[in-house]
Structure 1
Amino acid sequence: MGNFDDIPITSPDSDRFGFDPFASAISDCIHSIENPLGSVVAIYGPWGSGKSSVINLVRHYLAKDAPDLDVINFPAWMYRTEDALAVGFFKELYAGLSPVLSDQTKAAGALRKLGANLAGASSLAGMAVGLFAGSVGEKATTATLDALGGFIEQGEAAEDLQATLADALREAGKKFLVVIDDLDRLSPEEALVIFRLVKSVGRLPNVMYLLAYDREATEQAVARRFPSEGAHYLEKIIQAGFELPQPDQSHLNVMMGEVLNGLAADLPEIDPVEFGNLFHSIVAPELKTPRDVFRLANTISITITPIKSDVFFPDFVSLETLRVFRPAVYRAIRQNKSAILNAGQNDRYDQRETRSAQYTSMLLRSESEEDHEHLRDALMRLFPQLQNVFANMSYSGTREWARQRRVCSAEHFDTYFRFSVSPKTIPKAELDYLIDDTRTVKEIQDRVREAVSITQAEGRTKASYILDELTAHGLNISLDQGEKLLSALFGMADELFLEQDEGRGFASFGNNRLRLHWLLRSILLDRTTLHERTEILTRSIVGATLQWHLDISNDAWQDYHPSNPDSEPSSEAETLTTHVAAERLQARSLELLRAAAASDTILSAKTPARLLYDWDRLQPYGAGEVMDYITRALGDDTKLCQLASAFLGKSYSHGMGGFGGAPGDLVQRENDRAQVDGIDRLLDVDEFRRRLNEALGSDGLDEQQKSTISRFLVAWERRDAGED
């Protein structure tokens, strides 16, 4: 099974499906025929059911128990036209019988002429050349031209030729078995040629035939060709027929299980119950013959290679099973991603029956109705959301699906159908690199900085997907490596606050600031004491950027002093630090803000407005530090432009369309917005406006700076007019 080769077995030791006793019985049957007269034995079985293996086992037993029996093999599948089949049949028959006929020239000639006679005049020359141009095992050395001359002789009837041949075979006293396998590979018309040839050669003494074919398909072909005779046509040819025993399902399951165990050997341990449920509901029902096992094994062994670590192995095996055996269902899943993944969001029980019918039609339209029940069960195991449709259960989703890289998670669905990692996530190898305990802070930062410059799905950076993936696996990251990760990301946080990763409008998907908060909580909460996470957070925030230090210190403070008076302080299990540590963080934030103002870097930061409001919030009441700083800044045209840019934000609108079915916007519209609520706490509003208008005529600003000021003033006026 190492190479998953679909090669028939040749000895009883290799039998995995219980064919050996069956083959032994057929061997006994053939061996027991004392005076065969063109006797025909048939083995019936569908394509891929193991007929060739049984024939090999029959030959094994005949070689042991009937050494006086010569086996003549006719590989019918090698001859792909009716003329070629006729030539090949007599070619192999002549090669097999010639040893006992070589001393009887008349009988040997009778066989050659009988072949030419039965092949028909239209193929006479080809027949002659084909018979004597050489064949496997042929010992005759008659020249081609001499043979052709013999064929052309007239006046010898087929009955006379056959009688001459029969006398010679009877006197020889040796038995022959002509084995014709792989009739399944022939077209119906080609298979019928074989039956006609066997029937035409007729009752040759000491000659037997062993045929293997799909009985149902062959009888249908005969019925089309000979409608008046139908199955009776074959009954006149076959003396004994044996139905190939159906392999025990457990044998097929065990063989497939061995293949899957080998492929999964280097993967993390998989819950055997979870895998078993998927295997027995999706994989096992499709394994009906040994060839089914080989076919699926070969497929999975190839397709799993590029994404082996990036999928949930049981899900991948299940989907590949559907792709091989139920391609229409596979396509329906691929084409209806949104409907499937969002199936759990509708909890209207009064619509359950209607939705079940809709989803059944959408996913199982191609399948017979008798298969619908077990296929619905299979799909609910792959996509638990569908339990909301097909069962009386609401199941919208869990983060565990993303951690396991299940196909039912939106982040990883595409990986299973692209055979490459979905653009909505990152390869597991990259995740493993970041959470490897041997990684340094610098190595982590270098890898994330590289990801900042790479754009993936929805226009987001790869860095944003790294944050998502780390958050999903937060519980699996060691606390030591978690602290290292937090220190690395906190130290470059400003580089991660990117506009393209901001969610907005109907396409909102959060932002990297929120993702950092989610990551922080996924690593620390639920598995540390308040003291432990206080220590970790205090150490990891030492090198944090200014804005991120403010975010964390404010978050820690809000745990004890919610800004919403109606909210209660957080419980200890949800609190980031002790109250004392939160106070220290607030004090440290104020120090950092004062230092940024003193170095004139506060207005050039990414979010200067937020820094100014935080500074105002943290300074002692009545100190007026921010007002004093901005008053001085208003006298500098460059700083004035920086202030205008700081308070110039964006809003997004989406036209919904008019009455009567008028179409709305398909994309969002971006608008300038003056973010000036509470600005009077920071500066003299009238003086700020006066200086902005004055600066528009200044020679000290370039056109881009003036454009920023103009846009801010227009947006402010629009806001004052209630048009924002």
Structure 2
Amino acid sequence: MISETDRALDDVFADEYGFNDIAKKLAPSLVDAAKSDGMVIGIEGPWGSGKTSLLNFLKKQLAARQADRLHVITLAPWLTGDNISLIETLTDAMADILDKEEEKSSPSGFWSRRKKEAASYTDLFRKYGARTGRALAPVANLAGMIYPAAAIVGTGLGVGADYLEKLGRTPTDAEVKKLISDKLASLDVRFLVLIDDLDRLEPRQAVEVIRMVRSVADFPKVAYVMCYDRSVLAHALELSLHVKDGDLFLQKVVQLTFTIPLPEPFDLRISLRSKALAIYREVNGKDPDAAQQGEISRAIDREGAGLKTPREVKLVLNAIKFAYRSMADDLYFPDLCRISLSKILNPPLYRWLEHYLSVRSVIFTGDAEMAEDDMTELGTSLKALLPSESLGSTRSIWSAAEYIPGLQVNDDPKARVFQSEHSDQIAKYLNDKRLGSPVHYRYYFALTGPRSVLPDEKLNELKVLAGSDIPSLSAKLEDYIRAPRPLGQSWFEHILDRFSRSELRALSAGQLCGLTTAVGNVMDFAMRDKQQVRLFSRSLSDKSEILVGNVLDILRENDTQARQRLVQTLYAQSPSLGWLVAELFRQELFDHGVVGDRARRVEDRHLTAEELDACRQILRERLAAAAAHGSLANLPDLAGILYGWRDMAGPEDPRAWVADFITDDTNLVMLLLELRGLTVSDRVYRPLRNSTLDLFMDREAVLQRLAALRQGGRSAELKSKLDEIDEALQIGANDHYN
């Protein structure tokens, strides 16, 4: 896939914008201009508008016309980079042409006569160019630049020789220029000097070119065609000449201007669309489907409304090619067209979108939150970038909100960003790998996914294992639980988030059952490994419950038998007994109204009433077995297990187990620390309430044992734990839930 170069056009078949037709109309006028004295013509247009392309076609048209005695000289001050040599380049080129013309017309005449004895007219011409071109150089550099004496100039100057003899001194540059001009006026020869890229020069260099065409080399029968961006050149003249109005100064220099015409409406967008589709076709080996082709057209027609020059089209195409050639599987092509247009046409908006989407990604994954001040700042800057209130304007928030999630028009700056979105819309962004996807957005800016997001290929690997190898999937999930992640939540939590309802709907019944079984296999391990408590965000247990609930709901619709087998496997065989009792099943008890007073609608519950009773009996038997084997205390979230046990079986069974367990002082201290609650106000508090003690043990007896422990000889570790318990009891005594 070849990138679009910035090389100017010179091939008629590649001329999309009619430059060759313009050149055909313009060439005769330029031929006529060369008959005048020092005519300066300006071809004006912004950078990238096609000035050099037009100049290339003009040269072809002028050559094709074969105008008699017209000589075209092309100067490139941008390439020369030195205003000193530019004038020399011009005078040397003109002198060479004059030598050849004179030799053709008078082979034995004064032009070739006495070469060894007399300096020719063109020698004087060259000397003039060397001297005037070095006018700003140190005087020492003028050594050897003295004009030849009148006696050796000979008849080449005609009457000028007599003039120099009478002068009796070395002539000035102005006097020599007059002699050269008189000679040129008498000859049947014309010059057209083409000067490109004048607007690329430094201000000092640009002024020297203007000086050349209007002073040093404004000879008769020499016309100049200069290509430039008028505003850029005018500004350069203001800087270098210290004039107030560079545009007005330019009017004194240029007698005739031709402005590169704007492309016809939609020409640039049509060109971009056809070439973008060619890129898609080349990479994918086929055309986009009708829906995506419509999106591509819509993206380019709307976001491409700001295209002004052919160069901008090339830059956008190069941005698309650069990303799509290697990232096609991770990008949504219409969105790539959109962001590439923003990158070229509105760089500040492009940078804003990159920042916004990166922050939104970590908010979406639960790894960070956004302060109101930061939201206000983002919303304010967005309005400055997209100020229009019109629904149809591409410079409005309305327009950006069509493909960037969470944006809306609002008078409150902080309400313009990070607005909530429907889960179906989020799923669409994820499934289509859109620019608005928190998983894929970074591919559009950095050619790689976010470091905090599991790549699609890794997620697909888990899907394959879910349908074929549950033990391997369980082991892989354990690896992700252990693996460090750059941001707050674990890789395992991130994976649970990635398996959204829409993602799960794309899996087979076997994959759904395998995935849920594997999650159940590792949940106790994950809960034990997770030490940090994150406030105001979904917990690990919340995420797992959402996944299991979604799977059961989907299977209820599609495969009831697979659902029944999964429920039996999960509650009877999952090794994560702590998670089942403390979290998953306890939430089902709340949903059914067995606990609390906020029962969900029947259709919103994940288990039926019959399944609830059956699972309750299974878990009671498993808890009794664990208590008998002495393994219950080794499960994570022991306090949650006791509450879950109480909710499904009443308080007697957990109280009996606690009474036996805390006969050991070490177990008592450990359990009291486990039973602390969690509240947040000015800081995080861990209260141990009297109501909690009364629920599972004899409070007075426990307090007496604690007092006895404080009196006895104790280790520093035990003292620290007892101090924590004392603080928790004091906080709990003042807690309104107590």
**TM-score normalised to structure 2 length:** 0.74
Question: 1: distance between equivalents of 2:71 and 2:561?
Answer: 84
Q: Which residue is equivalent to 1:575?
A: 605
Aligned equivalent of 1:252: 268
1:546 CA drift (Å): 0.8
AA in 2 matched with 1:161: I
| Structure 1 residues 198 and 629, CA gap change in structure 2 (3 angstroms) | closer
The farther-off stretch of 417-426 and 513-522 is 417-426
CA distance in 1, matches of 2:511, 2:359: 38
Whole-Å Cα distance in 2 between the matches of residues 603 and 370 of structure 1? 63
Q: CA, structure 1 residues 414+652, in 2 after alignment: closer, same or farther (shift >3 Å)?
A: farther
Give the structure 1 partner of residue 421 of structure 2.
397
Is it true that 1:293 corresponds to 2:313 in the alignment? yes
In 1: Cα distance, 2:259 partner to 2:379 partner: 37
Query: Is contact 1:502–1:510 with CA below 8 Å preserved after alignment?
Result: no
Q: Which residue of 2 aligns with 1:662?
A: none
Answer yes or no: is the 8 Å Cα contact 2:47–2:229 preserved in 1: yes
1:654 is aligned to 2:681: yes
1:584 corresponds to? 614
Aligned to 2:210: 195
Aligned match of 1:243: 259
Residue 716 of structure 1 is matched in structure 2 by 729
- The 5 A counterparts of 1:178-217 are 178-199=193-214, 200-205=216-221, 208-217=223-232
Conservation of the 8 A alpha-carbon contact between 1:608 and 1:646: yes
CA contact (8 A) 1:176 1:208 kept: yes
Q: 1:185 Cα deviation (Å)?
A: 0.8
Match of 2:560 in 1: 531
Residue in structure 2 matched with residue 658 of structure 1 by the alignment:
none
1:197 aligned partner, one-letter code: M
Relative to structure 1, is the Cα distance of residues 492 and 127 closer, same or farther in structure 2, using a 3 angstrom cutoff?
A: farther
Deviations 1:130-189 (Å, cap 9, x if unpaired)?
Answer: 9xxxxxxxxxxxxxxxxxxxxxx934722223334555x52xx6x654321111212344
SS of structure 1 residue aligned to 2:24:
helix
2:543 counterpart residue number? 515
- What is the distance in 1 between the residues matched to 2:196 and 2:441? 44
Q: Residue 166 and residue 393 in structure 1: after superposition, are their counterparts in 2 closer, same or farther (change >3 A)?
A: closer
Distance 1:260 1:528, change over 3 A: farther
1:76-225 → structure 2 map (5 Å cutoff): 76-94=77-95, 99-100=100-101, 104-105=111-112, 106-119=120-133, 123=137, 154-155=170-171, 157-165=176-184, 167=186, 170=188, 176-199=191-214, 200-205=216-221, 208-218=223-233, 225=241
Structure 1 counterpart SS, 2:602: coil
Q: Is the 8 A contact 1:534 1:581 kept in 2?
A: no
- Report which stretch shifted further, 537-546 or 510-519: 537-546
- 8 Å CA contact 1:494–1:548 kept in 2: the answer is yes
Q: Which moved more, 1:18-27 or 1:102-111?
A: 102-111
Query: Any conservation in 2 of the 1:38–1:204 contact (CA below 8 Å)?
Result: yes
1:13 counterpart residue number: 13
Give the residue type in structure 1 aligned to 2:490: T
Residue correspondences, number: 661
Question: Could you tell me how far apart the structure 1 residues matched to 2:545 and 2:326 are?
Answer: 33
Contact 1:644 1:708 in 2 (8 A): no
Q: Does 1:486 align with 2:505?
A: no
Offset at residue 117 of structure 1 (A): 5.0
Is this contact kept in 2: 1:534–1:576, CA < 8 A?
no
Report whether the alignment pairs 1:463 with 2:501. no
Structure-2 residue corresponding to 1:451: 480
Q: Matched residues in 2 for 1:191 and 1:580: separation?
A: 89
> Which of residues 602, 619, 630 in structure 1 aligns to 2:632?
602
Which of 550, 574, 586 aligns to 1:543? It is: 574
Give the Cα separation in 1 of the matches to 2:386 and 2:629. Answer: 72
Tell me the secondary structure at the aligned position of residue 519 of structure 1: helix
- How far the C-alpha of 1:234 sits from its partner, in A, is 5.7
Query: Equivalent residue for 2:48?
Result: 48
Q: Structure 1 stretch 209-218 or stretch 409-418: which is displaced more? A: 409-418
2:724 aligned partner, one-letter code: R
- Alignment-mate amino acid for residue 728 of structure 2: A
Counterpart in the other structure of 2:662: 634
1:644 aligns with 2:669: no
User: Relative to 1, partners in 2 of residues 1:691 and 1:277: Cα closer, same or farther, differing over 3 Å?
Assistant: farther
Structure 2 residue matching 1:677: 3-state secondary structure: helix
Matched residue type, 2:180: L
Cα displacement (A) at 1:33: 7.1
Is the deviation greater in 633-642 or in 302-311?
A: 302-311
Cα distance, 1:597 vs. partner? 1.4
Give me the whole-angstrom Cα distance separating, in 2, the residues matched to 1:71 and 1:651.
87
Alignment of 1:342-421 (within 5 A): 362-365=381-384, 374-376=394-396, 377-383=398-404, 385-389=406-410, 396-400=420-424, 402-403=426-427, 404=429, 421=449
State the SS of the aligned residue for 2:129.
helix
Counterparts of 2:248 and 2:601, CA distance in 1: 89
Question: Given that residues 43 and 260 in structure 2 are in contact (C-alpha distance below 8 angstroms), is that contact kept between their aligned partners in structure 1?
Answer: yes
What TM-score does the superposition give when structure 1 sets the normalisation length? 0.75
Output aligned runs, 1:687-706, within 5 Å: 687-694=701-708, 703-705=716-718
Q: Which residue of 2 aligns with 1:72?
A: 73
State the 1:39 CA deviation: 5.2
Equivalent-residue separation in structure 2 for 1:303 and 1:163 (angstroms): 61
SS in 1 for 2:541: helix
- How far apart are residue 235 of structure 1 and its match? 6.2
| Whole-Å separation in 2 of the counterparts to 1:511 and 1:54 | 65
Gaps of 5+ in 1: 131-152, 342-356, 656-668
**Bigger mean CA offset, 219-228 vs 375-384:** 219-228
CA distance in 2, matches of 1:212, 1:521: 69
The superposition leaves residues 75-113 of structure 1 with CA deviations (integer Å, 9 ceiling, x where unpaired) of 111233443433343344445655445663524324313
Change (3 A) 1:360 1:716: closer
Change (3 A) 1:526 1:87: farther
C-alpha distance 87-332 of structure 1, shift in aligned 2 (>3 A): same
Structure 2 unpaired stretches of 5+: 113-119, 146-168, 362-375
Could you give the per-residue CA deviations for residues 558-582 of structure 1, whole angstroms, max 9, x where no partner exists? 55554245636521xx332444433
Identity %: 21
Q: CA deviation at 1:51?
A: 0.6
Q: What secondary structure does 1:587 align onto?
A: helix
1:58: Cα distance to partner? 2.0
